[in-house]
Amino acid sequence: MAKYLKFTVGNNLRGYKTVEIHVDGAQVAYKILRNEFKPVDKNQSVANVGDDWLDKLDALDIPAWEKFYGDGSSGVQWSLTLRDGEKICRSRGTNAFPDAWDDFLDLLDALVPEMQFIDGNRIDALELTLTHGDICERLTLARADETLTLDKNSSTHIYRLDTRGTKNFLNICQKFFDALEVTDDNVCVMNLAVKMTRHDGNSTSITAAYSEFAMPGIVKFAEAIHEFMPDLTAKIFVPENIRLIDAEKIILCKVQFKGSYKSYTYRTEDETLAVGDVVDVPVGRNNDIVQARIVDIGYFDADDTPFPPDKIKTVAGKHAGNGWDNY
């Protein structure tokens, strides 16, 4: 039975993408009506897809999608109309999507690659290699085959993930590694090498000491992976194996006040603070609380601080307001 599908997604800032798809037996044709702000010819094209694509489209069970997703706030807006014979189904949303959303976009991206429904920066394949002396663990995962492979010195372990599991694993990794700012750590002897292959075919790599100092937030990342896959036998995601910041170290922040380029040094015990954060600090004899921006963070031994530790004031905390309030 012939099917007709019209799909639109986008926002006012980047523009909208709209495609019409006609399915008649084994033949699939499409027409690009809008592609953000790029010119389109609106001619119908016949797609070279097989039965597998059609089977995957049916497996999405689009007629079971809800009529509306989201709360009506601004963000990514989308709408879909499906006509299957005499039956018509409509679904739409704002910044919220059905469970099969990623699978649906994958199908559209395979059908009309020039429209780039999938973010080219998305990680589609990941390789993590942990080395420590003679020990080497390599973990690989590709979105396409949904198989996570762990190679050790003397054994190989294969974990079958479903589509949601693969997506969650790669999303956790992408969120962490794309935001990671690596620092040097010459003490740790374990190293982690990361290779990420993007949807657009480009690859990015990171190599750093496997420690909280070199890779801030790695403990929480490992805990998230370990909770997500508790049966994973890799040392790579066991938080206890990560070298933590020495508890005896003193954390010092250099801060600048608004309108001044001079920096002042404060102590903190908050390891989550980062360069660029706005913090509340005590100033003057009365220790009035003033906002300042962190411009540098360092870890020191007690006998290696630039000033006597007991003479250095302590950051009151991360500022809870919006940036430079009261100025």
Provide the pLDDT for residue 15: 92
By the 8 A CB rule, do 17 and 36 touch?
yes
- 271 or 207: which carries more pLDDT confidence? 207
Predicted TM-score (pTM) of the model is 0.62
Rounded to an integer, what distance in angstroms lies between the CA atom of residue 272 and that of residue 298? 13
Token pair 């999405």 in the structure block, residue: 60
Share of the chain above pLDDT 70, in %: 95
Tell the residue number behind the tokens 């590694």, with chain if given.
Answer: 177
pLDDT > 90 in the chain, percent: 44
Q: For residues 244 and 283, which has the higher predicted lDDT (pLDDT)? A: 283
* Residue 327 in this model has a pLDDT that exceeds 50: no
Side-chain-facing half-sphere of 45: CA atoms under 13 Å: 14
44 burial (CB, 10 Å; 0-12 / 13-18 / 19+) is exposed
Q: What is the pLDDT of residue 2?
A: 65
| pLDDT higher than threshold 70 for residue 77 | yes
Cα–Cα distance for residue pair 323/289, rounded to 1 Å: 14
Residue 83 pLDDT > 90, yes or no?
Answer: yes
String of DSSP letters for 309-320: GGGS-B--EE--
Is residue 204 very low, low, confident or very high in pLDDT (cuts 50, 70, 90)? Answer: very high
DSSP E strand stretches across the chain: 3-11, 15-24, 27-35, 44-47, 68-70, 77-84, 87-94, 123-132, 135-142, 147-151, 156-160, 191-198, 203-209, 250-256, 263-268, 278-283, 288-300, 317-318
**How sure is the predictor about 324, in pLDDT bands with cuts at 50, 70 and 90?**
low
At residue 190 the predicted structure's pLDDT band, cuts being 50, 70 and 90, is confident
Instruction: Answer yes or no: is pLDDT of 246 > 70.
Output: no
323, pLDDT greater than 60: no
Rounded average pLDDT over 187-196 = 89
Q: Which pLDDT band holds residue 196 (cuts at 50, 70, 90)?
A: very high
Local structure of residue 246 (DSSP, 8 states): P
